[in-house]
Amino acid sequence: EEQSVEVPVFSAASYVCQRHTGQPGHNPLLTESLAVLAESAELNGDEGRGLAFRRSEALLRSLDRRVQGMTDLRGLPCLGEHSRRVIQDVLVNGRSSEVEETKASSRYKAMKVLTGVFGVGVKTAKRWFTEGICLKHYADLNQPVTRDEADSVSVTVEAAVCSVLPGAQVTLAGGFRRGKTSGHDVDFLITHPDEGKEEGLVRKVVACLESRGFLLYHQTTKNTYQESAQGAGRPSSNMDRFERCFSIFKLTNGGDPRDTRRAQEQAEGREPDQTASAGSRPWRAVRVDLVVSPISQFAFALLGWTGSKLFEREMRRWAVHEKSMTLSSHALYDKNQERYLRASSEEEIFSHLGLEYVSPSGRNA
Ligand code: CTP
Ligand code: MN
Ligand code: MN
Ligand code: MN
């Protein structure tokens, strides 16, 4: 190799939120391997270990070229001993035996079924769903949501929101805002330019959607957020307190014979779906999250609900450890100045935190 020993092949900042992380990156084999181990650790309730693998995965995904050998990784942060061992295995043997064994284990496979459907941890899935709901829509929910389907849900949600509160704004958040072409669900953030008008909006929107026959399941929670002198929420709590609705939509394909899902399956060369009898009925179930934020918290809510989870988590860690601030989906609190820092855009929040702005497409950590 021509590469000089002194000049590192790659360099990377140590916090995920200091970097641009796209999808899927230049090292898919490595990142997929680390993702399996991260998942497995998470499923086993070992969060610390899961997080370590997630950080390694994100680091590799942020690299702008393919890793050729272990020497390329010299000086890079976030890569622990275990991750490096796995990477070496894959680089040398084309596969990691630990990853293969993990994937083959029945525990991993069983857990995958559940988390694969909901895109959430097992605990969350159990909390939100009765087994009946889970089984009833299993086949549909197990199918990734396409961008076309997300757009179709957007149209329905916008129509409902607009009819119950004219002037309200609907923003597509979550993975689709980050430019992902498929997802577990569709996330929407709703607000109104006049503070206070948004109160109770979720219930009204849900009632409207329900009356129009678009909901198969919904569970609404009230807004319980209040600013406190102690600062913006507990850093350990990932859950925000917005008024929100966890729902399952009945997405009709509008009688279009070119069902987007079938078209995509064909394009990808997959077998047509045998589990859901989707071909015999003109609709399918899609997970949708609706969240309502007051306009004063909108920038924080948008940042929080755009994700990814790891990106958010790293931003919060950066805030606490590097800036003595606490960041949540509601607010940013400066512990030194003992005051909240307001923001009306995501850019302002990055700037308050002394971070370079990372656009949504770069937050796919
Ligand atoms: N989120 C949150 N509070 C929750 C649930 C989710 O703040 N109670 C945030 C997550 O941290 C994430 C974003 O909302 O940043 C979207 O969550 P989710 O839909 O679970 O993940 P996506 O990134 O959209 O990916 P997917 O395609 O799997 O849905
Ligand atoms: Mn989502
Ligand atoms: Mn979601
Ligand atoms: Mn109801």
308 CA from centroid of ligand 2 (Å): 9
C-alpha–C-alpha distance, residues 179 and 175, integer Å: 7
Beta carbons of 297 and 328 less than 8 angstroms apart: no
Active-site residue flag, 240 = no
230 CA from centroid of ligand 2 (Å): 30
Residue whose C-alpha is closest to residue 174's, from 119, 222, 126: 119
Q: Which atom of ligand 1 is nearest to the CA of 183?
A: 27
Active-site residue flag, 140 = no
pLDDT of residue 130: 57
**pLDDT exceeds 70 at position 317:** yes
Q: Please tell me which residue, 42 or 298, carries the higher pLDDT value.
A: 298
Residue 109 in domain:
no
Annotated catalytic residue, options 72, 89, 140, 185? 185
Active-site residue flag, 289 = yes
- 186 burial level (CB within 10 Å; 0-12, 13-18, 19+): buried
Check whether residue 182 and residue 98 sit in a common domain. no
Residue 120 in domain:
no
C-alpha–C-alpha distance, residues 56 and 62, integer Å: 10
Q: Per-residue pLDDT averaged across 83-106, rounded? A: 96
* Banded pLDDT at 139 (limits 50, 70, 90): confident
**pLDDT exceeds 90 at position 204:** yes
The domain of 94 spans 16-104
Beta-carbon neighbour count of residue 155 at 10 Å?
9
**pLDDT exceeds 70 at position 34:** yes
* Banded pLDDT at 100 (limits 50, 70, 90): very high
Question: Pairing relation of β-strands 185-191 and 283-292?
Answer: parallel
Each residue of 182-191: pLDDT tens digit? 999 999 999 9
For a pocket test of ligand 1, which of 177, 309, 310, 317 has the largest count of ligand atoms closer than 8 A to its C-beta? 309
Crossing angle of helices 106-118 and 28-43, in 10° steps, is: 100
Domain final position from 302, 318, 343: 302
Check whether residue 232 and residue 294 sit in a common domain. yes
Each residue of 107-123: pLDDT tens digit? 888 777 766 665 555 55
* Ligand 1 pocket member 127 (CB < 6 A): no
Each residue of 209-221: pLDDT tens digit? 999 999 999 988 8
CATH number at residue 50: 1.10.150.110
Residue 122 in domain:
no
Count of domains forming the chain = 2
Ligand nearest to the CA of 210: 4
**pLDDT exceeds 70 at position 4:** no
* Banded pLDDT at 157 (limits 50, 70, 90): very high
Beta carbons of 2 and 343 less than 8 angstroms apart: no
Is the alpha carbon torsion for 184, 177, 147, 365 positive or negative? negative
Q: Per-residue pLDDT averaged across 49-67, rounded? A: 96
Domain final position from 302, 328, 345: 302
pLDDT of residue 3: 53
* Banded pLDDT at 142 (limits 50, 70, 90): confident
- Strand arrangement, sheet containing 325-327: 325-327, 332-334, 339-340
CATH number at residue 164: 3.30.460.10
* Banded pLDDT at 236 (limits 50, 70, 90): very low
Q: Per-residue pLDDT averaged across 274-303, rounded? A: 86
Residue 133 in domain:
no
Percentage of residues in the chain with pLDDT exceeding 70? 81
The pair of three-digit structure tokens given for residue 165, joined into one six-digit string: 């509160």
